[in-house]
Every structure is written in structure tokens, then in C-alpha cells.
Amino acid sequence: MAIKNYIGGELVEPVSRAYLDNVDPSTGQVYSQAPDSDHRDVEHAVAAAERAFPSWSRTPADERCRLMLRVADALERDLDRFALAECIDNGKPLKLAATLDIPRAVKNLRFFATAVTHFHSESHVTDGVALNYTLRQPRGVAGIISPWNLPLYLFTWKIAPALATGNTVVAKPSELTPMTAYMLSELCRTILPPGVLNVVHGLGAKTGAAITAHPRVPTISFTGGTVTGTEVARTTAPLFKKVGLEMGGKNPNVVFADADFDAAIDGTLRSSFANQGQVCLCGSRIFVERPILDRFLTAFVDRARKLKVGDPLESSTDQGALVSRSHVEKVGRYVELAGQEGGTIRCGGRRPDAVSPRCRDGFFFEPTVITDLPVDCRVNREEIFGPVVSVTPFESEDQVIDFANSTDYGLSASVWTQNLSRAHRVAERIQSGTIWINCWLVRDLRVPFGGMKNSGVGREGGLEALRFYTEPKNVCIHVAGS
Ligand code: NAD
């Protein structure tokens, strides 16, 4: 089956007629093809988006909202089909795609479709002289680049605010997980005016780079790795684009001795291994206060061992496949490195022997817990993005704050304590864009979302996203005779 680009309202082949193999990570087999698009396809998509912009940007917000809600409804009606497709394309458990990825994609569309109907701007009265008010106008064609770990979830998280605010879009999903963005474009074809949303599939360095470098795409929203983000920043800076970068994380999970023990174990297990540890917000560095270290480790390792690595289609599976052969190999190399850096593997650390006959050649890796690593070693500083976590004891609040802040990343953190004053103190001092107290991945779409340090530039979510995709323009009216 061949995926197509979605340009100017039509599903079209890439100009080159060249395709990339699309692999099912649970079997390791090629199961479809995606366009290997180049700058010519991007040029067509930008031209279509430019043609659609004057009309879409002048379409009343109510009407844009209505159309986007229709897309959300169509996606919700098709939830099972999309969840199955996401599971096959990414390797994640079907039950996760059906309860997290696709419902959240529906919610993203609904949230921003309706948010724009409540969006308002500021006015400033200059005493006795003038009245200023701020117009927030769509910026034109938005270039959107998304990763593979939460494919449709993050794709819609970015296209929804761009479209709702009246921009037109040229989007490129990850070449590793193109399927659900393609299926969404099939749905949009019957609902959105041609050219409002364009989806161009292909490789990052070719298709993605053609979008970021395009002189008539003034807004770029990127989610992906920090190395790629650096490249996006380098390309876009001299073109003076407005750029949002959501990048990698190496997030701390801080467990104080006074925490609700069972809640901390449950939450930390989920934040370690959800989606096979392939969530930018996963807490891969676990710091445990010394008095409860042994108890924590025993319970945590026991629970990690019980997670069932299995066929993503099976409802009993907790851990599906990692996204690609090269990724599972990279995770394996980090576990080897942990051994060289003095680590002790408490569980996992390898690819399981036989998940099932169907999944014999899939990209599986066992949930892995490592102890005895120095805080500043590479395994504790670099993003692995797989089911691999380290557990390190700490002695004091000051020490664990230093540990938490000891990487170049600053995306999120979880803190487990029943002492509210301590929770506030620690939250204030950890350098991350999101701090969860006694929870993980509780997401309210209104809150600012993004990273500090090498994890990101700018914020998404709620008003932040609506502001990002609009240009504030101040209008100053002289008040005569005052
Ligand atoms: P990636 O950086 O390899 O790719 C992300 C996207 O960028 C893909 O669509 C890719 O094709 C494209 N791309 C690659 N090179 C490009 C270039 N030169 N120019 C333009 N586009 C290019 O990331 P990935 O492996 O797909 O995703 C995993 C990474 O994403 C992890 O580091 C993870 O932490 C991060 N992530 C961050 C967030 C967040 O919100 N901060 C969310 C999810 C994932």
C-alpha cells in the first residue's frame, strides 16, 4: 500500500515517484511505502498553502472552528481504525494507541478549534492621548515538523492551533510513522478547503530541510531531537523565521522518603516505561532518598520484571516494540555503555528471546533498571529514549536538586513527597519547563508546555500556541480633543 502526499486538497504521488519503505516495528517487515518527497513537492505544497491563505485567514473563527470540529468528529468515529494503524506503524501497544494517542489527537483538534473562538487580545489606553489595541493576525504558511513517538498526537498538537488561528499549513510527519497523518489527510480532504492543510512525507534532511529553508514559510514549529533542533535553528535564524523548538529530555524523577510509597512506585513505573520509554517526558533518572532506597529498588525492579513485553496487538501486552532497528540497537549500546561506566543491571538489559512467532523479528527490548552509575556519566546525561532507567540514591534536598539539574536538558520532572513546602521549594529550583508533584503526564491543554536549556525554545499549549501562530500588531488611535 502506498501512502500519498496531500497537496492542494488532492492525494498525490511525489514528483520523483520515489518511495521509502515503511516498516512494522513489531515484525521488522516492510508493510507499506511512503513518498520520498523532495524540494519540488514542498514547493507545490507551499504554493497551495499560499493560495489557500487569503480565504482561510479571512474565514470567521466560528467557521474554522466548525470545520475543525468536523475533522475531530470524523477522527473519533474512526478511532479504532486509527488506533490499529498507529499500533502497526509505531510498535506501541494497541490499547495505548486506543486510549491515549488517538483520543488525545481528537482532543487537540477540539481544544484549539474552540479555543480560537475565545481568543481575545489586549487594549491599552494611553491617558488622554490615544487608544491602542492589538491585532493578532495569522502569519501565513506554517511549516510543521513532528516526530515518531506519539505520531498523530503530536502532529495534531501542532497543526490544530496553526489552522485554528487562520494559518495554512505544510506539515511533515516522521518518515518512520507516516500512516496516521496520511489517514488524517484522507479525512480532511472531504472537510477542509483545498490547500489549507498540506502533508508532505519524506526524510528529515531532504523534505524537512526544504520546509525549514523555504523563504515563504515564515513560521516553523518543530518537535524532535536536540541535534535536529540545532540544525533547524541554524537554517531558520538567518531567514528570521518565528521558530518553536520542542526537543529532547533526560528527566529526573525525585522520590523523597516521605512520599506515598505505592503511588510513587506506580507513577515512576509508568513514567519510566510508558510507550517503551519513548516519551520526551519519561523520567529516566530516578533519584531515591537513601532511607527508602532498598525498599524502593526491590519493589520497582519486581514491578519492572512483571511488565509483559509482547505483541502490540495483544491486550495483555504492556510493552510493545521500539520504533526501528537502528533505535533498538542504539538503546542496546547505551546498556553496554552503562556496564563500562560502572553500572549494575538490576533487570532487563537485553532484547527478549521470543515475544511470539509473529513478532520474531520485531524490535523489542526488556524494561531495564540500572544502579551504581555516577550521576555525571554519559548514560545519566544523554537521552536514550527507550525503556532504560537509572536509580541513584540521594542524601538531601540540596543534593538532589544539583543531581536533577546536572544535565543539559530541562523538559520535565516529577517530585514525590507529602511535604507541600518541600514540593514548592524543589519545584522552584528544578530547571524544567514542567514539574509534576505526585503525578506524571497529567496534561491540561491550557498550560504552557515546553522545555528549558537544550530541551526547547518557546512554549506550546493554550494561549501560548495561539500567540505563537499569530503576529501581534499594535494599532494606535489618537483620541482627538482630549
Ligand atoms: P528527529 O529529530 O530525528 O526527527 C523529528 C522530525 O524532524 C522528523 O519528522 C524528521 O524527519 C525531521 N527532521 C530530521 N532532520 C531534519 C532536518 N535537517 N530538517 C528538518 N527536519 C528534520 O526526532 P525523532 O527521533 O523523530 O523523535 C525523538 C526525539 O523527539 C526525542 O529526542 C524526543 O525527546 C523528542 N521529542 C520531544 C518532544 C517535546 O515536546 N519536547 C515530544 C516528543 C519527542
CA of 82 to the centre of ligand 1 (A): 22
CA-nearest residue for atom 31, ligand 1, is 225
Does 476 qualify as catalytic in the annotation? no
Residues 96, 89: Cα–Cα separation, whole Å: 13
280 is annotated as an active-site residue:
yes
Find the angle CA(100)-CA(102)-CA(107) to the nearest 5 degrees.
90
Q: Whose CA is nearest to atom 21 of ligand 1?
A: 208
What is the position in ligand 1's atom list of the atom closest to the CA of 456? Answer: 41
CA of 393 to the centre of ligand 1 (A): 32
Residue 416 · residue 269 · CB < 8 Å: no
- Grid cell, residue 193, equals 478547503
Shortest-distance Cα residue to atom 37 of ligand 1: 247
Task: Out of 280, 341, 366, 383, pick the active-site residue.
Answer: 280
Helix axes 151-164, 61-77, angle to 10 degrees: 160
| β-strands 5-7, 10-12 pairing | antiparallel
- Architecture category of domain 5-247+455-475 in CATH: 3-Layer(aba) Sandwich (3.40)
Number of Cβ within 10 Å of residue 145's Cβ equals: 25
3-class state of residue 346 by DSSP: strand
Q: Name every protein residue with a CB atom under 6 angstroms from any ligand 1 atom.
A: 145-149, 154, 172, 174-175, 204-205, 208-209, 212, 223-225, 228, 231-232, 246-249, 280, 383, 385, 411, 451, 456
Q: Rounded to 5, what percent of the chain is helix, strand, coil?
A: 40, 20, 35
Which residue in this structure is represented by grid cell 504554493? 47
Dihedral sign from CA coordinates of 432, 428, 437, 290: positive
**C-alpha cell recorded at residue 257:** 522518603
Burial of 128 (0-12, 13-18, 19+ CB in 10 A): exposed
Q: Of the candidates 81, 45, 315, 314, which has an alpha carbon nearest to the alpha carbon of residue 180?
A: 81
Ligand 1 pocket mutation, candidates 227, 280, 408, 409, criterion most atoms within 8 A of CB? 280
pLDDT value of position 482: 54
Tell me how far CA of residue 399 lies from CA of 39, 158, 310, 434, in angstroms: 50, 37, 39, 20
Distance 225 CA to ligand 1 centre (A): 4
453 contacts 410 by C-beta, under 8 angstroms = yes
Pocket test for ligand 1, best of 22, 89, 155, 228 (most atoms within 8 A of CB): 228
CATH class of 252-437: alpha beta
Q: Catalytic: which of 246, 366, 383, 460?
A: 246
Nearest CA to ligand 1 atom 26: 147
Spatial distance between the Cα atoms of 352 and 366, rounded to a whole number of angstroms: 6
DSSP class of residue 50 equals H
Distance separating alpha carbons of residues 472 and 476, to the nearest angstrom: 13
- Which residue owns the Cα nearest ligand 1 atom 9? 174
Residues 6+ apart with CB under 8 A from 353: none
Residue whose CA is closest, atom 43 of ligand 1?
Answer: 280
Using the mean position of ligand 1's atoms as its centre, give its distance from the Cα of residue 295 in Å. 37
- C-alpha of residue 358 to centroid of ligand 1, in Å: 29
Q: What is the DSSP string of 57-119?
A: HHS-HHHHHHHHHHHHHHHHHTHHHHHHHHHHHH---HHHIIIIIHHHHHHHHHHHHHHTTT-
Ligand 1 centroid – CA 226 distance (Å):
8
The residue extents of the domains of the chain are: 5-247+455-475, 252-437
If you measure from the C-alpha of residue 231 to the centroid of ligand 1, how many angstroms do you get, rounded to a whole number?
11
Output the pLDDT for position 354.
Answer: 79
Q: What is the mean pLDDT of each run of 10 residues along the chain (482 residues)?
A: 97 98 98 98 99 98 98 98 98 98 98 97 94 97 98 98 99 98 98 98 98 98 98 98 98 98 98 98 98 98 98 98 98 98 98 93 98 98 98 98 98 98 98 98 98 98 97 95 62
C-alpha to C-alpha distance for 473 and 406, rounded to whole angstroms? 40
- Ligand 1, pocket-test mutation among 145, 331, 434, most atoms within 8 A of CB: 145
* pLDDT at residue 480, as a whole number: 84
